[in-house]
Structure 1
Amino acid sequence: MNNTISAGQLIDLHDVTGDGQPKPKLLVQTGPMNVMRLVLPAGKAIPEHKAAKDITVQCVSGKVEFTAMGTTHTMTPGTMLFLPPEELHSLTAIEDSIMLVTKAN
């Protein structure tokens, strides 16, 4: 069963019911992209990893230390990063946080 959001349907990014773990929740899946929400409790770290394609990462709420390309950025609501394919990155939630990740397919 596909639980992604249908075209034209409003998405409440703050509704994290059932998202107790930092596993991304797929919200939108199309041919060219996937959009996922990542809920991170304060103190949760995701070790260094990479994506095969371009990604953007947006902070919806909270505060996250995001390390990529030799720099650590403090991401707060309204900030966004772009990473090219195969770029290693890691993150640690300083506060309970919600991140939005858009990945090219």
Structure 2
Amino acid sequence: MELIETPNALGEKNKHVQKALSFGKTKVVNIQLQAGEKIAEHDSAADVIIIVRSGKVSFDVEGQTVEVSPENILHMDPKEKHSLTAIEPSDLLVLQITS
């Protein structure tokens, strides 16, 4: 068992990115963004799962826009180009799973 700390850093500064865990073919990254902060378009060689723990984030994936919140989960296939903008102060987990 391993308990991983992902403290709330939004009050201290703007964008916060922390590699939380890596095991097997999976990487887990914690991203915390203030409202309006963006991450430019990019892609990943892995399957990507986005879990928003708090807030709301707008993702533009291959030209389609979706809002991700604690009520849903986003899955993206490898190489899907995407960018994101925090609609509200947001805390999300990014799981990158390589096949």
Identity of aligned residues (%): 33
| Residue aligning to 1:95 | 88
| Residue aligning to 1:3 | none
Q: Match for 2:32 among 39, 46, 51?
A: 39
Unmatched segments (≥5 aa) in structure 2: none
SS of 1:65's equivalent in the other structure is: strand
Normalising by structure 2, what TM-score? 0.84
Unmatched segments (≥5 aa) in structure 1: 1-6
**Aligned residues, how many?**
97
Normalising by structure 1, what TM-score? 0.80
Q: Match for 1:53 among 22, 36, 46?
A: 46
> Normalized per residue, which structure has more strand?
2
**Inter-partner Cα distance in structure 1 for 2:34 and 2:9:** 14
Once the 2 structures are TM-superposed, how far is the Cα of residue 31 of structure 1 from its aligned partner? 2.0
| Residue aligning to 1:16 | 8
Does structure 2 conserve the Cα–Cα contact (< 8 Å) formed by 1:20 and 1:39? no
- CA RMSD across the alignment: 2.0
Counterpart check, 1:84 vs 2:66: no
Superimposed CA distance per residue, residues 10-67 of structure 1 (whole angstroms, 9 cap, x where no aligned partner): x455x22487343421111112101111000011011111011111111110111111
